[in-house]
Amino acid sequence: MRIIRVALDVPVTSLFDYRAEHVAVQDIGLRVVVPFGNKVMVGVIVALADASEVPPARLKSALRILRDVPALSRADLQLLEFCSDYYHYPLGQVIMNALPAALRRLRSAAHREDDCFFLTGFGLNADWSTLPRRAVVKHRVLAALHGRGHLDQAAARALSARAPAALRELAARGWVERRPCPAPREGVAAPPAAASPPLTAAQAAAVDSIRASLGGYTAWLLHGVTGSGKTEVYLRLTATALDSGKQVLLLVPEIALTPQLEATVRSRLPAALVVSLHSALNERERARHWRLAQSGKARVVLGTRLAVYTPLPDLGLIIVDEEHDSSFKQTEGMRYSARDLAVFRARLRGVPVVLGSATPSLESYSNALSGRYRLVMLTERIGVPPPRVACVDTRGERLANGLSARLLAAIEERLAQGHQSLVFINRRGYAPVLMCRACGWTSGCHRCAAHLVLHLEIGRLRCHHCGHEEPVPPACPECGNPALAPLGQGTQRVEAALKQRFPPARILRIDSDSTRRKLAWNAMRRQIHGHEVDILVGTQIMAKGHDFPLLNLVGVLNADSTLYSTDFRAAERLYAQLMQVAGRAGRSDVRGQVLVQTEFPDHPLYRALCENDYAAFARAQLAERRQAGLPPFVHQALLRAEAPRLATALEFLGDAAALGRGLRQAVTIYDPVEATMSRLAGRERAQLLVQAGSRRRLQGFLQAWHDKLAAHAPRKVRWMLDVDPLEF
């Protein structure tokens, strides 16, 4: 009988000891079923021990060790332990949340493969022309089955949302049958690889430099302007890693970027099994892809933030695309940075990591300037010059639903030429607030310190923070005035204005409302590439990573709102967003144009944007931050607290500041203040900033401080540490 130390998904920092029979060192990392209180839970074995501090009479026995999935490796556990230590979050919750949800349950069907669909012999020899021509989905499914040999559930749904129904009807005809999926590549020859475009001199130099570092740790910053071919560099490096028998982890910031990139990787590297990992997958799909990666069968893993934890026994290269994107930072629970963990994991495993961006984060750019990262640059756009960027001075102009006369004229010109236009406004809904002009009432959320956004097409007011919604009132709740006015513009209002201004134009709105359905974005991409759309109205979903050859004009609305922010990162975020969305224009053989509507056309940020001079912008921002004592020249942590009453949260933070100052360490502890969003989902929020000149000094303080906070925090206050915060 030995003692196993088990990590469980509970909010305490300790591990839990249990007796276990027939357990060995190689069982560390396996899942285990244990009693916990009056429940039974699944945990992970992280260590073995010969003795326990728990008295023998109270020490419970593990119920069973689960061996259906291989154990997490020592390197996997080291990454998770580092994460727990650095972000000061319970190890059990870190480990369990890194596993697919299906593996965290007592009854898991995750080990069963999804069924696949196959053509029967009858279906293979059937006369498909007997199907009606209007049965487009059936014809598409049959063609895919004939070309690929089989379709799994995800591949079928990727063809069409109606594919499952079509497959059932074809099965009823006897043309299709359903049976377990074959092992990857079993009996199926890999299709020929798509042709590789020739490399430019800059691309070739970047590939050669990074390729030489394969086999050891180096952090690379690939700074390439939009359209310069960063993806081609990723593909060449991935091919080299695969040829040497290694796996590749490719991280992207958003789910919307995965289908296009996954299709490109599959076409260029058809012999390699490619899997995706992101929150749009169902539990069985996610568990299946995770297991394929852990087994080594999947050679390329393409995923969003959480994919950084994926077990990869043959890891040889990590790529982080759009490394500057704030989506890599988790904003709930353990607030980790997937980009930073990717760098740590690369160092831990002794492999190179490539951070790619047209607008690198100032932290990464500073690391490159200091020599901590190695910098490679792609300064020229392939094919055509970068788009012409110009500011539209809107001072004194009466805008038509937020649209200037110059922008409308440019859209009209593109319509006549048969080109596509994008109107970018990073605000969904019809209008950000509904107002009574008689008494000044505005549509506020009773649960948050935010306005309810008007969604006119469904007649609802909706909070984009807590999800609360209510019907649009017929009259002002305060004074009874029936003439309520929408203020400002959102994507829905801009869409309506463009439909009124250009009645024949085919207009498509792309935001988180219109892309909510699982396969909606794939269908929209096909529409755009098929030139079934003339004008796009989109939010940040459209800002990065997409290549639409016919898109020639980008108009940016409401950019100035970010300039009013008190966040010291606001200028960096705005520049990156505008540069990324500008890069969507002119991706084929016609030079694009970008029009940014602003009341501050002489602002240094806009001047740098028009001159396409990231280096000047970044150096100016870094100089300001050095002078002000801000990251990346200092290191920060934010203690966040929320409670039913603001006074309770502030009192806790005041006590926390006193505890911290009592430790007498070389850190700066600021006074507690209300959070920028002071109320969220009915709870009041406040925060306390801690800052130090070195990361090691800050971490030493946080460890001692965290232990004291855990012992003194009142039950009615929820609190957590946010290390390296991005939002204040």
- Final residue belonging to a domain, choices 561, 591, 623: 623
Cβ(661)–Cβ(688) below 8 Å: no
Query: Do residues 549 and 689 both lie within one domain?
Result: no
Give the Cα separation of 512 and 81 in Å (integer).
Answer: 35
Indicate whether 446 belongs to any domain.
no
**Of the ranges 110-124, 469-483, 533-547, the best mean pLDDT one:** 469-483
Query: Three-state secondary structure along 622-655?
Result: HHHHHHHCCCCCCEEEEEEEEECCHHHHHHHHHH
Res 184 pLDDT > 60: no
Angle at 55 between CA 51 and CA 58, to 5 degrees: 115
What are 644-649's contacts with CB under 8 Å, separation 24+?
644/683, 644/684, 644/716, 645/684, 646/674, 646/678, 646/679, 646/684, 646/685, 646/686, 648/684, 648/714, 648/716, 648/717, 649/684, 649/685, 649/686, 649/717
Indicate whether 281 belongs to any domain.
yes
Query: Do residues 569 and 420 both lie within one domain?
Result: yes
CA proximity to 4, closest of 55, 24, 14: 24
700-722 residue pLDDT tens: 999 999 989 988 888 899 999 99
Indicate whether 471 belongs to any domain.
no
Angle at 97 between CA 517 and CA 101, to 5 degrees: 55
Q: Give mean pLDDT, residues 540-563.
A: 86
Supply the pLDDT for residue 1. 72
Query: Do residues 394 and 537 both lie within one domain?
Result: yes
Query: Do residues 121 and 99 both lie within one domain?
Result: no
Q: Which two tokens stand for residue 569?
A: 């990162």
Supply the pLDDT for residue 128. 81
CA proximity to 158, closest of 320, 285, 270: 285
Query: Do residues 149 and 287 both lie within one domain?
Result: no
Query: Do residues 268 and 218 both lie within one domain?
Result: yes
- Final residue belonging to a domain, choices 591, 623, 655: 623
Indicate whether 447 belongs to any domain.
no
Q: What are phi and psi of 526, to 5 degrees?
A: -65, -40
Query: Do residues 131 and 18 both lie within one domain?
Result: no
pLDDT band at 108 (very low <50, low <70, confident <90, very high): low
pLDDT band at 188 (very low <50, low <70, confident <90, very high): very low
- Final residue belonging to a domain, choices 74, 104, 134: 104
Cβ(113)–Cβ(121) below 8 Å: no
Q: Give mean pLDDT, residues 638-653.
A: 96
Query: Do residues 570 and 718 both lie within one domain?
Result: no
Residue for token digits 């055509």? 384
Res 112 pLDDT > 70: no
Residue for token digits 């079928």? 156
Query: Do residues 343 and 401 both lie within one domain?
Result: no
Supply the pLDDT for residue 111. 43
52-81 residue pLDDT tens: 999 988 999 999 999 889 999 999 999 999
Domain residues for the domain of 541 are: 388-431+488-623
CB neighbour class for 697 (10 Å; exposed up to 12, middle 13-18, buried from 19): middle
DSSP assignment, residue 180? E
Q: What is the CATH number of the domain that holds 540?
A: 3.40.50.300
Indicate whether 109 belongs to any domain.
no
Supply the pLDDT for residue 183. 53
Give the Cα separation of 592 and 581 in Å (integer).
Answer: 12
Q: Give mean pLDDT, residues 617-625.
A: 96
Query: Do residues 243 and 371 both lie within one domain?
Result: yes
* Omega prior to 632 cis, within 30 of 0: yes
Q: Give mean pLDDT, residues 209-227.
A: 95
Supply the pLDDT for residue 462. 95
Supply the pLDDT for residue 383. 79
Res 153 pLDDT > 80: no
Query: Do residues 503 and 539 both lie within one domain?
Result: yes
Res 189 pLDDT > 70: no
Q: What percent of the chain has pLDDT over 70?
A: 96
412-466 residue pLDDT tens: 999 999 999 999 999 999 999 999 999 999 999 999 999 999 998 889 999 999 9
Calculate the average pLDDT of the chain.
91
Indicate whether 687 belongs to any domain.
yes
Q: Give mean pLDDT, residues 368-373.
A: 97
> The dihedral of CA 421, 423, 424, 427: what is its sign?
negative
Indicate whether 540 belongs to any domain.
yes
Supply the pLDDT for residue 114. 55
Query: Do residues 58 and 129 both lie within one domain?
Result: no
Res 277 pLDDT > 90: yes
Res 237 pLDDT > 60: yes
Supply the pLDDT for residue 133. 79
Give the Cα separation of 520 and 535 in Å (integer).
Answer: 18
Indicate whether 254 belongs to any domain.
yes
Give the Cα separation of 723 and 494 in Å (integer).
Answer: 38
Res 335 pLDDT > 70: yes
Residues pairing with 4 in the sheet: 18, 48
16-33 residue pLDDT tens: 999 998 899 999 999 999
Query: Bigger pLDDT: 39 or 590?
Result: 39
Burial 465-498 (b: 16+ CB within 10 A, else e): bbebeeebeeebeeeeeeebebebbbbbbbbbbb
Q: What is the CATH number of the domain that holds 44?
A: 3.40.1440.60
pLDDT band at 586 (very low <50, low <70, confident <90, very high): confident
Supply the pLDDT for residue 517. 75
Give the Cα separation of 61 and 376 in Å (integer).
Answer: 55
Supply the pLDDT for residue 146. 84
288-331 residue pLDDT tens: 999 999 999 999 999 999 999 999 999 999 999 999 999 999 99
pLDDT band at 591 (very low <50, low <70, confident <90, very high): confident
Pairing verdict, β 2-7 and 16-20: antiparallel
Supply the pLDDT for residue 186. 44
Q: What is the CATH number of the domain that holds 644?
A: 3.30.70.600
Domain total in the chain: 5
Q: What angle in degrees, to the nearest 10, is found between the helix axes of 362-370 and 614-628?
A: 90
Q: What percent of the chain has pLDDT over 90?
A: 72
